[in-house]
Each structure stands twice: as C-alpha cells, then as structure tokens.
Amino acid sequence: MDRIVPSADSVTITPGDARWVGAWWLGYIIAGVITLLSAVPFWFLPKSLPLPISVTGNSPEESRFIKDSPHVGQKYRPEEAASILEMAKEFLPSLKSLLGNPVYFTYLCVSVIQFNSLIGMVTYKPKYIEQHYGQSASKANFLMGAVNIPAVALGMFLGGVIMKRLKLSIMGAAKLAFGTSLLGYFLSLFFLAMGCENSRVAGITTSYRGVDGISYHERSLFADCNIGCRCSGKDWDPVCGGSGITYVSPCLAGCQSQRGSGKNTVFEDCKCMAEVVGSSPGNLTAALGHCWDREACDRIFPYFLALSVISSFIMSLGGTPGYMLLIRSIKPELKSLALGLHALTTRTLAGIPAPIYFGAIIDTTCLKWGHKRCGGKGACRIYNTTAYRYHQRSVPFLHLGIAYLGLTLGLRTFSFFLCIPGFMLLRKQIRNEEGTVLTNGGSEIEPLKKEEASSLNCERLTRASDWDPQTTRTSDCDPDRETRL
C-alpha cells in the first residue's frame, strides 16, 4: 500500500504551535561542521614551541624551535614516558593530595552547584520563553543562540583582559569572580517580577463563562454547551474564540459547522462562546490556533531579553578569573589532574542530573498533557505560569516561574554560602605560601617552611630580571629541576 503524504494545504498548525516539530537535527549538523572547521588551524601549529629569550639568552632573530634549532645552547630534554603501571601507582597519591587541598575541594563543590544552576537554566530557558511569553520554539532557541551566547563569550574575553590589565593576584581573581557572580545573581532576581498571566483556556485556566482561577481536572473541560457533542477530553486541537478565550478543541467549543481548509479553516456556530460573560451575541466563530492576545506580556518580553543579556554578560566576566583561581591554588605538578577532575566532576554531577530533576520539577506544573495515538502520555501542551492554582495534585506556589527561576536562584544562593569558608581557606593558604620575609632590604631569608622557601627562591632565580651572578649561588637552585615559573 502506497504511503499517503499530506499536502501543505492540509496542514492546520503553524511553527508557533506547541505540536510543531521542526528540523531539530539541523542544529547538530551545523554545530558539527563548525567544530571541524575550527580544528583546521591547529593542523598548522608546530610540533614544539620556542624557548623564551630569558632562558635561551638569544635574540629573537636567533631563536628557533627547540627541536630543530642548532643555536639553542641548552636543549630541552623531554622526560621519558612513564609506563601505565607507574602512572597507576602515582594516581591515587596524587588524587589524595589534590582532594586534600581545602581550597581546591571547596572550589570544586561551588563549581558543581553553580554548574547545576547554569545547565538547568540554559536547558529549559527556551521552554520558559515559549510557555511564559508565548514565543515559538524556533524563535526562543534562536534568541538564546543569537543574544545570550555572544554576551557570554564577550564577558569571558573581557574578564581575562581586566585580570591582565589590573595584574590581579589569586585573591583578586577570587574577589572578581565572586563579585561578578553576586551582581549577576541580584540582577536575576528581577526575573521574578517579569511574569505573565496564564493564557485563558476554557476548562483549564478559566471557566466557560470567562471566570479566571478554576481548579482544573478533566471533568472541567465539559459544560452544558458541549455536553451533547460527545467530545474527547484527551484531544488537543486549540481554537481561538472571538472573545479571546482558547478552547481545547472545536468540539469542546460547541462548534456546529466549518468552512475553509487547512490553516484557513473557520469554525462557526460555536455554542460555548455565547456562554462567555460580556461577549457579543453574534460573534460565535473560532479560528485555528492559540489565542496569544497578551499585550502586557509582549511589552515585558524585550525587557526580559535585555536583562538576560546583561546578567549573562556580568556573570561571565568572572569565568576567566575563576579558571585562573583553579590553576593557581594547586601545585604545578597537579594542574593537569586538577583540570581533568574538575571537568569530569562538573559534567558528571551537573551535566547529567541537572536536566533530569529540573525537567521533573517543571513537569509538575503541567496543566494539560497530550496523548499519543498508540496510547500513553505525550508532551505537555500548557503549563501553569501563575500561582493561583491549588488542588490535590499540585504543590502550593510551585508553578513554571517558581519551579524554573526559583530552583536556579536557590542553587546559586547555596553556592554563595560555600564561598565564605572558601575565602577564609584561600587567605590561609596564601599566608602559608609566603615562605620568605626579606628583612632590612637584605637577602636574608627566614623560611616558614623549608621546602616552600626553597621553591620560591628557585622561582626568583630562574627569572632573568632577578638573576644576579654576583650575589647568587648556583647551588641554591638546580637548573635541571622543574620550577614554577
């Protein structure tokens, strides 16, 4: 049997409809191609980088790549590759030493909590815009990519520029990251005031007489005006009445006839529209689609986007300083392990569970579920966006705005409380690492810790600006030992 392909004229929904499924796979193809293209410049990088002039002692014209240059007096001798067994033996002690660093462990906990908030917010922000402000799914996702992502990229870049220009220390980087995150948090609180009322849907958010604030259940979809039509309460084929009220289906609107086809279909003699208080007696027609006549909400939406861009930009200013805080708070030999563990932990404990429990909580605010043709519950058709609905199956005050924004802001609030002991631990670590005290402008060293003082002294000696052959003993620093530059 040949498959019947519907024509474009028979399609009765638009891209703004909740049932519209677009080319969702196209984004993955575009992102994959861009990722491959971004990797092309890395193919042209050299296999090794030149030594700094302060180490080679040569001029820029004489500097060559380490591997091939005959002018470099001190060749770089790569270490022998460690075996897998040796790496395995060193892994657990290194991991124990890394997690034993209180600053790093606190930073890891704060990152996990804030990444939970960030990933949950980014994942469901298009759905929030779609349901709360009546935008189509395609427009909501486009605005996320075209407005928010450039603001975040610019903020991370400028955060690095600010840190470089101000020459911030590790404590300065921590204060900048915390300050920008806190300022963005306070700006995000204004989102709670930028709410919209639920769209008026007969039998769900409003009665058939146009009275708002009913307790929804499936029986409330039926009224005297449609009781004899034998309508199904599981269908979702919304029509917009002349009074601005949306009806779940033409049948539930009590419509008796129709004219036109496809998107131009108009339903006539809809009895339930005559029940609306204040409606004109002669206007009993309905058109396909949802009623989105909410002027106040349309006026708020541009301010929501502007505030979203500003808050995202401010919070991203602390991205680079926070990353530098992570690197500087640990020993040089543990940096690779620290970065890998941080990436693994945040993606495992935030990237995987956050969309799951965010989605589960948001689903509790669903007012009308769709139904699959083969049976079973489908996608949610309309969410509760205000707090007036209270009945047995709902949680008081748990609606789309509170479930989404409240959970996002709540996680970030908890992370700020962890930052307080984090600052105290960081300050203590900085004081412990100040292992040398110069007295009377001389070179006498009073070590707090012998190993740390030796390491810090070696760092100064390896810098060209600090090297003085008249006052420095070459035995103070082994040139073959790896130092922290």
Each residue's pLDDT tens digit, 315-354: 999 999 998 888 888 888 888 889 999 999 999 999 999 9
Q: What is the pLDDT of residue 398?
A: 57
Q: What is the pLDDT of residue 476?
A: 46
Query: In this structure, are 316 and 188 located in the same domain?
Result: yes
| Cα gap 289→79, rounded to integer Å | 69
Residue that terminates a domain, selected from 241, 272, 293: 293
Query: In this structure, are 138 and 26 located in the same domain?
Result: no
Residue that terminates a domain, selected from 293, 317, 348: 293
Query: In this structure, are 17 and 166 located in the same domain?
Result: no
Residue 114 pLDDT > 50, yes or no? yes
CA within 13 Å, CB half, 280: 8
| Cα gap 288→263, rounded to integer Å | 7
Average pLDDT over residues 278-304: 79
Query: In this structure, are 306 and 376 located in the same domain?
Result: yes
Each residue of 233-257: pLDDT tens digit?
888 888 888 778 889 888 888 888 8
Write down the pTM of the prediction.
0.75
Query: In this structure, are 289 and 301 located in the same domain?
Result: no
| Cα gap 56→69, rounded to integer Å | 11
* Domain housing 50: 12-67
Closest CA to 224 of 265, 281, 274: 274
Each residue of 347-396: pLDDT tens digit?
999 999 999 999 998 888 888 888 877 777 888 888 887 643 333 344 44
CATH of the domain at 168: 1.20.1250.20
Domain count, the chain: 4
Is 103 inside any structural domain?
yes
Tokens of 480: 């073959």
Is 4 inside any structural domain?
no
Each residue of 138-161: pLDDT tens digit?
888 888 888 888 999 999 999 999
Query: In this structure, are 308 and 409 located in the same domain?
Result: yes
Q: What is the pLDDT of residue 316?
A: 93
